[in-house]
Structure 1
Amino acid sequence: MAFFAVSRSQPLKFLSATDLAMEYERLEAECSQLEQAVSSHAIVDQAIGAVVVLGRIAPEEAWRVLRDVSQRTNTKLRVVAEHLMAFTQGAELPEAERTELRKAIARYQSWKR
């Protein structure tokens, strides 16, 4: 059985077994990255909702709060979101993140007054 690569910019190209294996690995890696991106996006969205409730602020400000906490603590946004969601379930929030969360919520609450 022969396999060919289809491309809009190039004519059909015959693929060897090695080419097929490499393409399969590339596609698997890309799929894994996309799954992680979707998962990260979901946890960040949930954390935005938690900040909306905790701070009684609009979602746009809640996004800014998370971004500020991430930048000021030098912690990935996804990790801050994961910590915050664990906090909503009773876990401890790391001290630096807790301090920056309070400051950021206060900053954005004062903007709407």
Structure 2
Amino acid sequence: MIALQEEVEQLKHAVISHAVVDQAIGVVIAYGGLNPGSAWDVLRTVSQHTNTKLREVAEHIVQWPHCQWLPPEIRHALDTALASRRRPGQDAVAG
């Protein structure tokens, strides 16, 4: 019974984490003008370059529009990842 309860808790956590990542993809799409696949790649790149779990990066990015602040290392990695995906002549979005 305990194992089943642990599995249910793990599944709940996974569903919540997935929802936060999906929301963060939406923020990156809006901020960077990317398609969903590219936005996912940007989140993964930010996670890798900041040595931060993807879920934590996603949580920061989801809160960013509300609190108007991102940790500097995440903001730098996000802007760098977006700049590498922009087409020549495409303007950066102010933020």
Q: TM-score, normalised by structure 2?
A: 0.89
Tell me which residue corresponds to 2:87.
110
Tell me which residue corresponds to 1:37.
14
Tell me which residue corresponds to 1:95.
72
Cα RMSD after superposing both structures: 1.4
Answer with 39-48 or 90-99: which moved more.
90-99
Q: Which has the higher strand share?
A: 1
Tell me which residue corresponds to 2:51.
74
3-state SS of paired residue (2:69): coil
Unaligned runs of 5+ in 1: 1-23
What amino acid sits opposite 1:96 in the alignment? E
Q: Indicate whether 1:49 and 2:26 are aligned.
A: yes
Tell me which residue corresponds to 1:5.
none
Matched residue pairs, number? 89
Percent of residue pairs identical: 47
Unaligned runs of 5+ in 2: 91-95
Tell me which residue corresponds to 1:60.
37
1:106 is displaced (CA, Å) by 1.1
Q: In the TM superposition, what whole-angstrom CA distance separates every residue of 1:29-55 from its partner, at most 9, and x where no partner exists?
A: 000000000000000000001100000
| 1-structure distance, mates of 2:76, 2:62 | 16
Greater Rg by CA: 1
Q: Which runs of 4+ in 1 moved over 4 A?
A: none
Q: TM-score, normalised by structure 1?
A: 0.75
| 1-structure distance, mates of 2:54, 2:69 | 17
3-state SS of paired residue (1:110): coil
Q: Which has the higher helix share?
A: 2
Answer with 102-111 or 67-76: which moved more.
102-111
1:110 is displaced (CA, Å) by 2.9
Q: Which has the higher contact order (CA 8 A, sep 6+)?
A: 2
- From the superposition, tell whether residues 33 and 56 of structure 1 become closer, same or farther in structure 2 (CA, over 3 Å): same
